[in-house]
Amino acid sequence: MSYIARRGLPLLLTIFLWLPINACSKVSSGVNVITQTELVSQLEANQTPLILDVRTQREYDSGHIPGAINIEFRELKKRISEIESHRNKSVIVYCEHGIRANIAEYALMQANFQSIFHLEGDMSAWRKNSLPINSN
């Protein structure tokens, strides 16, 4: 029996455990992180860049960051024209836990968006910290 065959299950478990951890990190050096405190300060100063919620419409309707627009991560490539005017401006992306936001950030990078930020902690941390939430 080969080494890989003997180690197959632990190796697969390691890969499956690594993927979610890696997915929550920034996609590449083209994506920066913005803290929740920094975003709250921008909201309070009325200097907010585009805030992009890439969760489902249902999730968005149940509660989102004030001023955020909703384009589900699966639809972003088809709907990129809706945010075209922000290509050279800052865009803050978030989802519930980070994985879908990472996918959206990659799509934005492919579309040559220049200043992409990932909201640290995403919506789950925003909610946990009792920060402002709008709902439809």
List, for residues 22-72, the tens digit of each pLDDT value. 444 444 457 899 999 999 999 999 988 999 999 999 999 999 999 999 999
pLDDT value at position 48?
Answer: 83
Q: Write the pLDDT tens digit of every residue in 75-124.
A: 999 999 999 999 999 999 999 999 999 999 999 999 999 999 999 999 99
Domain positions in the chain? 26-128
CATH 3.40.250.10 holds for 26-128: yes
The model's pTM: 0.79
Q: Concatenate the DSSP letters of all residues of the chain into one string.
A: --HHHHHHHHHHHHHHHHHHHHHTS-SSTTEEEE-HHHHHHHHHTT---EEEE-S-HHHHHH-B-TT-EE--GGGHHHHGGGGGGGTTSEEEEE-SSSHHHHHHHHHHHHTT-SEEEEETTHHHHHHHTT---B--
